[in-house]
Amino acid sequence: MAFQFTKWHGCGNDFVMVNAFQEDMSAYEKDLPALVRRACDRHFGIGGDGLILVRPSETADFRMHYFNADGTEAEMCGNGIRCLGGVVHRDRLTEAQGFTVETGAGILVLKLVETDENRIVACVDMGEPILDAPEIPIMGYGDERVVERELRVASEVFRMTGVSMGNPHAVIFREDAETLPLALWGPAVERHETFPRKTNVEFVKVIDRERIRMRVWERGAGITLACGTGTCAAVVAGVLTGRTERETDVEVDGGTIRVKWDADDNHVYMTGPAECVFTGVFA
């Protein structure tokens, strides 16, 4: 059994992309998590932060079926959906510059801003942020928004803002975000009992009101060079705490992503690149 794939990244957040319109994946359906773990292994497989199947959809133009590198399914991936846009463009699955994508977080709209054979810039309407604690979900803070609330993790007390962009995020503003030991505190926050479905964790330093620096620990993937939904959550948290404007550049380890939380429709718009690295056959 073998299938063709393309390897894409969005600001260094990298994915094994499979065009399931063209590739027959039926032989793998019984244990997709095992396939994902094998394919995403950076020593014995292709290597990636996750694997994305580009599938047909009954409710949208395309469906994004997303798995973290550890084989767990996740609702959404902001950098991943831009990479999906790259696959759709490169494989000519549509001639349209804008199309809808079914995700675990609902149907999102993606528009191609710039296109090349192996690179795109896309703007994604990420929808409205979810801010009420039970819907994120976050436990132990009542039913209201969790904004700058204390979170005790071992010997440390963080001030955390909770946001869901279809997947949960804990955003923590810190002046020492650049030097903080992410490999220590990221998994400790991710698995904290406050988060019943675990959480993505963003440590953020404000540079000015239109630029922030973000480092991320992703649920199910660990340290990554970028997290698209995380950049959206960081900007929403920046606005909620009075730190940033509604349109802000977010610097991640792998590049810069532009995020706007529109005051008129309450939707978050994320604009950034995606690039094809290589193609191959995985057996």
Active site positions, annotated: 77, 227
Q: For the chain, give the secondary structure using H, E and C.
A: CCEEEEEEEECCEEEEEEECCCCCCHHHHHHHHHHHHHHHCCCCCCCCCEEEEEECCCCCCEEEEEEECCCCECCCCHHHHHHHHHHHHHCCCCCCCEEEEEECCEEEEEEEEEECCCEEEEEEECCCCECEHHHCCCCCCCCCECCCEEEEECCEEEEEEEEECCCEEEEEECCCCCCCCHHHHHHHHHCCCCCCCCCEEEEEEEEECCEEEEEEEECCCEEECCCHHHHHHHHHHHHHCCCCCCEEEEEECCEEEEEEECCCCCCEEEEEEEEEEEEEEEC
